[in-house]
Amino acid sequence: MHMIPEIRIADYNYPLPDDRIAKYPLPERDSSKLLVYKGTNTPIADHVFRELPTLLPEGCTMVFNDTRVVPARMLFQRDSGAIIEVFCLEPHDPVEYNVSFAATTQCAWKCVIGNAKKWKGDVLHAYNPSEDPAISSIGLTATLENREGQTGIVRFEWSGGENFSRVMDICGSVPIPPYLGRKTEDIDLERYQTLYAHIRGSVAAPTAGLHFTDSVLSSIRHNGVDIRNVCLHVGAGTFLPVKSDSVSDHTMHREPFLVSRSLLSDLASGRHPLVAVGTTSVRTLESLYYVGTRLIREGSLSDVDQWDPYTTPTDIPTSEALGAIVDYLDKHSLDSIKVGTRLIIVPGFQFRIVDALVTNFHQPESTLLLLVDAFVGGDWKSIYRHALSHSYRFLSYGDSSLLLKG
């Protein structure tokens, strides 16, 4: 039996000066720098992102995460004047994203609550210091149904017949990452969203996709690359640094994902090199193997647990595991699989589906840095040293890299 890996998170620290964190996006999405890593025996190369179409493996398939960021951060006010921030994480009642977004009078969400100790359980009203008539007419209120530490179930109620998706647009703001050290501005409404964002539900952008423009996408297609989508709704856990000394004590949050039958069928036949855009796409694609193996062993579709790859037998061939999901979908007349994943990818992980990765530069001591190290076979330090010494910009609005599997 495999074992949960013991990895010291301190080994994934590096000096990141504040002036290397990109606080704003560049004027043009595809003018960011692109570091290209092809393995330990090939020098790291520096490019501009718009050159990506000419650098991709021949005949590859590219997989994008088409989730859409929602304005999940909302401010409410107590009668005493205290301001309470409510940050929506995932729907609770109704539990389906699309049903919750379509609700027209009330719904409940699991939320992170800022200033939680000041909320005594009274009904809060949407904060509206400028007396915006759109906010006034909705009359949005928040009631705390239960609380556990900094999170709780919050019930929202409003009038006027707007759906909750529109209520969020009117009363909420896009939750840009805390390390940007600033409030959300107008530019973030456009730029903290990929051009191909489609299915609402993320509270953080899949930032590797922020560099793509229509012209880059059309060049990629023109070069014969097959472009496909998956959808994983990015949770607030993406902002959480690893607090424990050992990665084995870190808890990953569940994130729901959706993959079409047609993509699963193509993956099962394993014909083309596969380039994942972003760590969220990697985690979605690599989760599929564990969904399939459990389906074969237990006969049911279930979520992927954080440590499944390290504690369960992995003797079933990848094509067989993916084929089992396709058979299940056919048997139940479904055109996509919809489950959740808590998968953590750390050094020692066996990649079965993804051959290359487009990704930004990640925070020190983060699970995303562990994923990158696992992908490049332990060579993360040389990549990050190069980026730091060649003026690359870091984190969500920073520059990009194309990494081939080590």
**Which residue pairs from 311-319 have beta carbons closer than 8 angstroms and sit at least 24 positions apart in sequence?**
311/1, 311/2, 311/3, 311/4, 312/2, 313/1, 314/2, 314/289, 314/350, 316/292, 318/270, 318/289, 318/352, 318/353, 319/268, 319/269, 319/270
The token duo for 284 is 């979605």
pLDDT of the residue at 271 = 79
Say whether 218 sits in a helix, a strand or coil: helix
pLDDT of the residue at 15 = 96
Contact 350, 40 (CB under 8 A): no
Kindly state the percentage of the chain with pLDDT values over 70: 99
Residue 146 in this model has a pLDDT that exceeds 50 = yes
Among 29-38, 174-183, 390-399, whose mean pLDDT is lowest? Answer: 174-183
Contact 77, 125 (CB under 8 A): yes
**pTM, 2 dp:** 0.93
Contact 252, 237 (CB under 8 A): yes
pLDDT, tens digit (0-9, with 9 covering 90-100), for 296-353: 999 999 999 999 999 988 899 999 999 999 999 999 999 999 999 999 999 999 999 9
Residue 29 in this model has a pLDDT that exceeds 90 = yes
CB-count burial class (<10 Å; 0-12, 13-18, 19+) for 261: middle
Overall average pLDDT of the 29-52 stretch: 96
pLDDT, tens digit (0-9, with 9 covering 90-100), for 212-238: 999 999 999 999 999 999 999 998 876
Residue with tokens 């990848």, as numbered in its chain: 318
For 296, half-sphere exposure in the C-beta direction (CA atoms, 13 angstrom radius) is 18
User: ∠ CA 306-384-47 to the nearest 5 degrees?
Assistant: 110
Q: Name every residue whose Cβ is closer than 8 Å to that of residue 144 and which is 6 or more positions away in sequence.
A: 113, 119, 121, 152, 153, 154
Question: What count of other Cβ atoms lies within 10 Å of the Cβ of residue 377?
Answer: 12
d(CA 83, CA 361): 34
Say whether 306 sits in a helix, a strand or coil: coil
- What band does 240 get if pLDDT is binned at 50, 70 and 90? low
pLDDT of the residue at 326 = 98
Residue with tokens 């529109």, as numbered in its chain: 166
Distances (CA, A) of 25 to 83, 187, 328: 30, 9, 43
Contact 169, 3 (CB under 8 A): no
For 182, half-sphere exposure in the C-beta direction (CA atoms, 13 angstrom radius) is 10
d(CA 117, CA 69): 28
- What band does 1 get if pLDDT is binned at 50, 70 and 90? very low
Fold of the domain spanning 9-68+193-404? QueA-like (3.40.1780)
For 353, half-sphere exposure in the C-beta direction (CA atoms, 13 angstrom radius) is 26
Is CATH 2.40.10.240 what the domain over 72-173 is classified as, yes or no? yes
Q: How far apart are the two ends of the chain, measured CA to CA in Å?
A: 25
- Domain ranges (residues) in the chain: 9-68+193-404, 72-173
pLDDT of the residue at 78 = 92
Overall average pLDDT of the 46-57 stretch: 97
Which residues sit opposite 88 in a β-bridge? 111
Residue with tokens 């193996």, as numbered in its chain: 293
Overall average pLDDT of the 374-393 stretch: 97
C-alpha radius of gyration, the chain, whole number = 22
Helices 279-298 and 261-269: crossing angle, nearest 10°?
A: 80
pLDDT of the residue at 2 = 67
pLDDT, tens digit (0-9, with 9 covering 90-100), for 97-129: 999 999 999 999 999 898 778 888 899 999 999
Kindly state the percentage of the chain with pLDDT values over 90: 86
Average pLDDT for the chain: 94
pLDDT of the residue at 114 = 86
pLDDT of the residue at 278 = 97
